[in-house]
Amino acid sequence: MKKQIYLLSFMLISAVAYAQQLVPITKTEVLARVSEENRAIKISEQEYLEAKADFKQTNAIFLPNITASHTGMATTNPLMAFGSKLNQEILTPSDFNPDLLNNPGQVENFATRFEIQQPLIDMDGFYQRKAAKSKMEAQALQIERTSDYYAFEVEKAYMQLQLAYKGVDVLEKALETANENKTLAENSFKQGYLQRADVLSVEVRVNEVKNQLQTAKSNIANASNYLSFLMSDTNNVIYKPSDSLQIGNFGVMNSEVISENRADIKALQLATNAYETMNKADNMSFLPRLNAFGSYELYDDQIFQGDANGYIFGAQLSWTILDGAKRFGKSQKSKAEFEKSKLQYEQYVSQNQLELNKAKRMLTDAENRLNLTKLALEQSQESLRIRTNRYEEGLEKTTDLLLAETQYAQKQLEYYQTIFEYNYAQAYLQFLTKE
């Protein structure tokens, strides 16, 4: 008796907590919140910003590099001392005295310098910029595909929540029926129509349904937690879908092959192009570079002064003929990375084509099962109705009634599970064929 009271109290507490945390939600709301709050989507957006920043860095091949500096020094070095006076434009005939030239006194020099370097021809830099742009565009497409993936995950999770509620509905009705049969069996036992073993069998069935019902409620909690995870929601609540699980029509495209216009495949193709371009950039590093340069300088023997000034400008054609085997190795590595990326692209397309073929067969199988489970559900319902009527008249065994009741509940659960699988197959096929 105490055990039963404890179990009843536990169920009542669970029911109250369940009701307090219940939050109605629609699929549209989930999609909107996932689009705005999902961490994986935000991570992909930050990765795009990283790629965009890398691309902006390549503006250096067009824009000048400008620096400014102010240097102060004191020296007795003959050459430096003479040069400092020369830059300050303070040389006098006495400074050419050999004794002063060889043993000068301390000379202070302060120089303010403005330098500019302007790239004119940098072929490997041009290709590096092109590769960075391809990487940035690929990352933008990855954001799109990540959003598509989590929209598909929302479809699946929301349907799982709907399925869990259907399971609870079926098992609650099954528990109600089992309790009615238990009452009927107890009355028949008191009247001497049934044996104690029959009553115990009915009680066992009631307990089985209770256990299944508790598991079904746990499934609701699990599905709700996953929806919260997708929405980056830390509140531990139980969601209730605004609509029930029904056969859906997702408008799936009848495609035989994976489209190359799909965002992730286009992104992978752009990544391959980036590797190819980087290989070209490494090969272009063997060519010379042409840069323009210039500087404007102010000199004085006082800090932050500039009584004397001068400028330099010109152009430099530089060519690194040999830097060991570094450039050769770098070129070979980028070539291997390019070839690997082509193989990865082909493998990815082939794998997705395999998934597409499986998804189409999965949809066909689910559609066939849907028709069969619907027929089986109707037959089990009619069988239960007939056996219940016969049992009430004392013409049916308890075991046969329990079997029919169990079978009907199972067929209901199988039917809703098949609806879920059919809808999931459509959603997955739509995800694979989306352009």
Q: Which amino acid is at 36?
A: E
CA 310 to chain centre: 58
- The fold adopted by the segment(s) 2-37+122-285+324-433 is Outer membrane efflux proteins (OEP) (1.20.1600)
3-state secondary structure of 301: coil
pTM confidence score: 0.81
Q: Quote the tokens at residue 77.
A: 């070095």
CATH number assigned to the domain covering 64-121+290-319:
2.20.200
Q: Quote the tokens at residue 159.
A: 């349907």
How many other CB atoms are there within 10 angstroms of residue 205's CB atom? 24
Q: Quote the tokens at residue 136.
A: 């940035």
pLDDT of residue 387: 82
Q: Measuring CA to CA, which residue among 248, 245, 246, 247 is closest to residue 168?
A: 245
Instruction: Establish how many alpha carbons lie within 13 A of residue 310's alpha carbon, considering only the half-sphere containing its beta carbon.
Output: 10
Residues of the chain with pLDDT under 70: 1-20, 193-194, 253, 324
Q: Quote the tokens at residue 275.
A: 């590797």
Q: Where are the domains of the chain?
A: 2-37+122-285+324-433, 64-121+290-319
Q: Cα–Cα distance between 163 and 242 in angstroms, integer?
A: 13
Q: Quote the tokens at residue 84.
A: 């400092």
pLDDT of residue 143: 95
| pLDDT tens digit sequence for 300-328 | 888 888 888 889 999 998 888 877 678 88
pLDDT of residue 6: 42
| pLDDT tens digit sequence for 324-349 | 678 888 889 999 999 999 999 999 99
CA angle 313, 318, 323 (to 5 degrees): 145
